[in-house]
Chain A
Amino acid sequence: QQQVKQSPQSLIVQKGGISIINCAYENTAFDYFPWYQQFPGKGPALLIAIRPDVSEKKEGRFTISFNKSAKQFSLHIMDSQPGDSATYFCAAISNTGNQFYFGTGTSLTVIP
């Protein structure tokens, strides 16, 4: 059973556009939600993370929106650049800190 559902599987955006990736979860024991960026041949790298007590967190061009009641969260990449082309994973971590679940990933391509 997939603990964290991620969509879309792939996304193509024009340079300067907004990229939006969505994730959903069911387990209310999750209380920390990071996003990772992964380039081919590399390990994932933490991009931004949020706790459920806030509805939005912004770092530069990256914003997480969090809807606790709907158990959904999303990553918005503003002014998308070709260098943002990568695979993005959402994740959820339990309040005990020993259960980690990643989404299935979104392959983002930003066209110049």
Chain B
Amino acid sequence: EAGVAQSPRYKIIEKRQSVAFWCNPISGHATLYWYQQILGQGPKLLIQFQNNGVVDDSQLPKDRFSAERLKGVDSTLKIQPAKLEDSAVYLCASSLRPGGRDTQYFGPGTRLTVL
């Protein structure tokens, strides 16, 4: 079974630039999550999708972050414009069902450095 795929693996940008991350979940997983993991901290949930609908995005900084999952499969997370404090690893995870009781499978993450 293929795991969660993410790209790119690394990205370096300057502040005020825009950046987008892509995630392809495990086939058949209806629920998709985006997390932000700052160095030395635990992952912070940004947004949870169930198919192509948003279950929760209460911790997503909506003035600069956006995410979509148009066809209920792949998802993109965008930051526009980026700030220095956005430097982190962005993790995508998927599970069969929402609610957190099903095992979440994480991708390898995208490491973003904002200069």
Contacts and interface: CB of A to CB of B under 8 A. Distances in A.
Contacts of A42: 106, 108
A43 B108 contact: yes
18 contacts: A32-B101, A42-B106, A43-B106, A43-B109, A44-B91, A45-B106, A46-B104, A93-B101, A97-B55, A97-B98, A97-B99, A98-B56, A100-B45, A101-B45, A102-B42, A102-B43, A102-B44, A104-B40
A83 interface: no
Given A42-B108, A44-B106, A100 B100 contact: yes
Interface string B14-50: 0000000000000000000100000011111100100
A28 interface: no
Contact of B41 (A45, A46, A93, A104): A104
Nearest to B91: A43
B98 A105 contact: no
B79 interface: no
Interface residues of B, number: 25
Contacts of A93: 99-101
Nearest to B106: A43
A98 B104 contact: no
A105 B40 contact: yes
A34 to B, nearest CB: 8
Interface in A33-59: 34, 41-46
Contact of A89 (B4, B43, B100): B43
Contacts of A4: 42
A32 B91 CA distance: 21
Closest 6 CB pairs of A and B: A43-B106, A97-B99, A102-B42, A98-B56, A93-B100, A100-B45
A69 interface: no
